[in-house]
Chains A and B, each alone.
Chain A
Amino acid sequence: MADTKPICLLIGALGGEGGGVLADWITEAATAEGYPVQRTSVPGVAQRTGATTYYIEILPAKRDELGGRQPVFALFPNPGTLDLVVATEVLEAGRAMERGFVTPDRTTLIGSTHRIYAIAEKSVPSDGRYDSDRIVAAARELAKRPILFDMNAFVLEHRVSLNAVLLGMIAGCGVLPFAPEIFGDAVRAAGKAVDQNLKGFELGLEAVRQPPQPAAASAKRRTAESSPLMARAHRDLPAAVHAIAAEALPRLTHFQNRAYAERWITRIADLAAAEQAAGLSPGEVSVAAAKQLAVWMSFEDIIRVADVKTRSTRRQYVMNEIGARAGQVIQITEFLKPGIPEWADLLPPGMGRRLRGWAERRGTAANIGLHIRSDTVFGFLLLFLLARLRWWRPRTLRFAEESADIDSWLAALRAAIARDSALAREIAELPRLRKGYGDTRTRGVGKYARLMADLVTPWLAGTPPADATARLQSLRRLAMADADDKKFESLIQQMRGEDSPARVKAAAE
């Protein structure tokens, strides 16, 4: 008996996920069975949405067999001593491994692969997500027995709570010395939402025997209809671009019309020709450009926004998003706040510019906050009629400006393709900075314009510096990673000067 070691169990959870209840159930079960058990936790401020842990130790020998001897339980998990680590979200599994709590000799790792993004990941202006595949890879390497799947999807599908499912998996994974039923009794004893939790518990028991396979389908929408223009796309565009065309053509036809979609083909065809002339492999630049151009050409003006919000598919989309069930009545209120700039965008260029200028002089955008009930006839009609202005769009200031910018971007691309394909590929990515609405868009477009005017144009007029691509890329990445305009400003100042590649690299980091 001297070599009896406690079974060590660590639960990594997020505040308010019911990790405490889960820990309670386990301690209750152990106590009921007469096993010495200890549990502790570090709630504190972690309760407020932070990461928190619960730590449990159970001696695999019944109290009455110990002859009065008291086990000494630890309050901290020691790296290398854990038999079971439970993570309610994949980052928390990663955190446990980072701290050495998952070891090949003894640790069973039960973790959900779904994502609850940390603030540092989701506040990045572009894409700051942590690559959770790395965590899964680490788990396969470091855990004695990794049990990983998207438990969030699982509980949503079966309408049960995560901690009950986890209890079932803990009971079923065979690390703890008592029969699964005991845990069920603990749930009954706790007496809260018993039936619901027992259902989850049973599902968990099943899931640990036969972990559900992840649905392979990507989250991407695929355009189901094919465009009559595809024939021309196949004729005029390199094969590498065809997949994008299949998405772009229906989108642009719907955004404006067939002719507009054809203009996309023409524009990409020109780039493809330039590629060929420069002896580049087909699609080397045009693939990236085709993707960006399609997004750019279907820019977000009032007309498009109104169209999205009045489509026949919209109501169902909202129902799904908010988890409303058939038969329930839903009321939808749109939060719109168009200002003079947005209305000016809809006017003919001359008038629009004058209106905008007047507004800038008066230092007002005169934004009017609208709460439009798009589920009512009147509210819907308002948006519906705006969406019908499609025919007028080509005559608007916004259309004129976007087209002009697109043409100069394409010109720059063609020029770059002829001299430096890497630089061209980087230029092709620049439109990603033009996103958002209102102030956000103004700043994004501003940064794009600065890059084109201060770097790209002068470079292509003369000879681009050897590290042109690196410079442009570091600036684009900064703009995409950090909303702080001052940083961008100071970096672009350096990039304009004849910096040594070393300094550029330093600045980029």
Chain B
Amino acid sequence: MAERSFKREVEALRLGDGETFHGEGILAVTKALLQSGVSYVGGYQGAPVSHMMDVLDDARPILDELGVHYEGNASEAAAAAMLGASINYPMRGAVTWKSTVGTNVASDALSNLASAGVVGGALIVLGEDYGDGASIIQERTHAFAMKSQMWLLDPRPNLPTIVRMVEKGFELSEASSTPVMLELRIRACHVYGSFPTRDNVSPAISRKKPLHDQVFNHDRIALPPSTYLQERLKIDVRLPAAVKFIRDNGLNERFDGELADLGIVLQGGMYNTVMRSLQQLGLADAFGASRIPLYVMNVTYPLVPDELTAFCAKKRAVLVVEEGQPDYLEQAIHAVLRRADLNTKLHGKDVLPMAGEYTGEVVLRGIARFAETVGHATAAFAETGKTIETLDRITGKAREILGAAIPARPPGFCVGCPERPVFSAMKLARKDLGEFHIASDIGCHTFSTLAPFNMGNTVLGYGLSLASSTAVGPNFDKRVVSVMGDGGFWHNGLTSGLAESVFNRNDGVLIVMDNGYTSATGAQYIPSSRAGDRHARVSIEDTMRGFGVKWVRTVRTYSIAKMIETLREAMTTRETGLKVIVAAGECMLAVQRRLKPLNRDKIARGERVVQPRFGVDDEVCTGDHSCIRLSGCPSLTIKPNPDPLRDDPVAHVDNNCVGCGVCGEVAHAAVLCPSFYKADIVHNPNAWDRLVAGVRRAVIGALQGLVAKPPAVAPGE
């Protein structure tokens, strides 16, 4: 089971005609896929569409009933290649991943797929990981659509529209023999809403109704001369077909308003944000009635020129609300208007920021600025100025009273995380090994680049840390350390990193975090997963040796001293070639998901359970917090100093402690201080426990009785 289970929610996928679905966007998309009669689905997890993989995984019984094949792909490239099934066979297929990073990984297969064209509808559901909550470089998927001639849907973020665009997306794909991308921003993926459902459609071709004859058609092979033909088809046939389909089916929407000489052209995904801002500025009501006419592009590539010219004609000014950079749409619309010889004034990135997420406030201010520029003598804009002033006054007041900026809360390693001690060990090892270059990777371990560790010099992509060190290593007077998660290792690191380093006899150090899941994306399974059902349980160490790595050590991450020693050996040994440390420790979230209920029941049943917890003697702690700087565990925190003569807060372990032992290990390895203690609570102690404890307390009590009382203290609380 992944971090989040959808076992209950997936039942909604069985809803039929005339029923109403209530749930999250991701689940709605899945339902729409089944309503569209897909033959196969797959993808690779990554926020904000990780849950879609969890949903598909949990929905396997339902998929099996319909004969739909589900593949947990090894990478986005594999997922994109899987869409090859729709090149020759009239099968609908859909895959999902995080964009743009996933699209980067997939683009080799995508280019070939787009060139060959499809007969069965091929849909790619993209989680556009942009803005607040994103975990990746800030780019747009739009460029991929343009360069490969794939169509890009950007639906209004409400479930009925999203569902309709999924269904229409397949038709569009088939009508224009082109793969279609559907882009959902973070908040749209997690939006909870409702839509009227239809019966699921059992696919015409499926595991239940398999194909018999293979189809050979050289026109669909990505090799000359076909590739020249395919490029012409893209422009001469597929593009016009797509534009016609989009127009005929009204995929883009037009909403009229009384201020007919103005207009707003916007990406579908921006619709709700724009509407709210118009509403706040007194230019719209709560039900989508806007005083300014809108042209909503649920399809952002390709454009439909005559729709645009028809909308802009007879308008003195139009605002383009296009999130992200560069301003592909604004430029394209300029060109469309120029060709149509329309001189409607076009605003966009002049009143809205070129870069960054278009949050409610950003759009609000942008539209207000648009109103200022075009609105002179427009009574409708009377309120806009006031609204912005009030807003500035209030935020100004807040900042004034607060005085200092609210401290940020960067993400970090969870309580008891097995990866934290690896970086504690590295930080300590650097004391005598000296500072060395660390090539970081994608995964929870990337948090090492944040406080309190601030370690890791580069991040080049998923599974690419080792590859990214290959030119640094030879040009450094000491070895370079690459850190990689098991997720990245199976995704890409195995070939681009391990195979390459062995092949080139690189003399580096690789640390692989073997925590058993792709933890950062919500603990999905991987080939080396040991938990759960149906898993290959491939050993990473064996894989290393299979590739010819001689120096491999598997170390339990929580044994910090051992880790430091192993790291020192790896950095200093005469042995050449890749040195691999497999840092073994299961994701603590997964462990706790398993153990917590188990222990709860045991305790309830009256069975003996020993639960470890760590603590700090606040009279011994002097409040220098070096333990925190070496750990950053959320449960290792501070509390006001109970000592009336001391001011600095003391270290304190809160109730979230899972007793992983890292505090103690760090205190030992770093020779920090004697403040830490481990306290095991024995639940339901047996007679022997009680007897021994009783005797001990008696003796100890007697000894304590012999000596002068310590100053009696009254705790403040």
Contact = CB atoms under 8 A, between A and B. Distances in A.
A86 interface: no
Interface in A305-330: 305, 307-313, 315, 317-318, 321-324, 328-330
A432 B695 CA distance: 43
B236 to A, nearest CB: 39
Interface of B: 22, 47-48, 129, 132-135, 157-158, 185-188, 190-194, 271-273, 275-277, 279-280, 285-289, 359-361, 364, 387, 390-391, 394-395, 397-399, 401-414, 444, 447, 450-452, 520, 561, 610, 613, 615-617, 619-620, 622-626, 628-629, 632, 634, 637-649, 653, 655, 664, 667-668, 670-674, 676-683, 685, 689-690, 693, 695-697, 699-701, 703-705, 707-717
A228 interface: no
Contacts of B190: 40-43
A242 to B, nearest CB: 13
Nearest to A31: B22
B632 A98 contact: no
Contacts of B276: 72, 74, 76, 78, 81
Interface in A1-54: 2-6, 14-16, 27, 31, 37-52
In the complex, the 7 A-B pairs of residues with the closest C-beta atoms, listed nearest first:
A42-B133, A76-B360, A74-B276, A78-B360, A44-B133, A435-B622, A250-B711
A453 B572 CA distance: 40
Task: Tell which of A16, A39, A49, A253 has the most Cβ of chain B within 10 Å.
Answer: A49
A328 B681 CA distance: 7
A198 interface: no
A217 interface: yes
Interface string A358-378: 000000010101000011110
Nearest to A5: B286
Contacts, number: 403
Contact of A439 (B404, B670, B715): B670
Nearest to B446: A45
A108 B279 CA distance: 21
A159 to B, nearest CB: 12
Contacts of B394: 79-80, 100, 103-104, 142
Contacts of B22: 31
B620 A308 contact: yes
17 contacts: A48-B414, A74-B360, A78-B280, A80-B280, A81-B276, A91-B407, A118-B409, A125-B625, A137-B401, A221-B715, A223-B714, A254-B708, A317-B617, A321-B616, A332-B677, A435-B648, A439-B672
A123 B632 contact: yes
A95 to B, nearest CB: 5
Contact of B395 (A98, A119, A339): A98
Nearest to B284: A72
A119 B630 CA distance: 12
Contacts of B679: 318, 321-322, 324, 330-333
A235 interface: no
Contacts of A158: none
Interface residues of A, number: 140
A240 interface: no
Contact of B272 (A72, A215, A224): A72
Contacts of B398: 97-98, 100, 102, 138, 142
Given A5-B286, A15-B411, A76-B187, A221 B642 contact: yes
Given A97-B402, A100-B361, A318 B186 contact: no
A218 B647 CA distance: 13
A220 B642 contact: yes
A85 to B, nearest CB: 12
A332 B623 contact: no
B313 to A, nearest CB: 27
Nearest to B8: A191
A507 to B, nearest CB: 21
A333 B677 contact: yes
B395 A224 contact: no
A300 B649 contact: no
Contacts of B616: 321
A59 B716 contact: no
Nearest to A227: B711
Interface string A330-356: 111111110100000000000000000
A379 B32 CA distance: 66
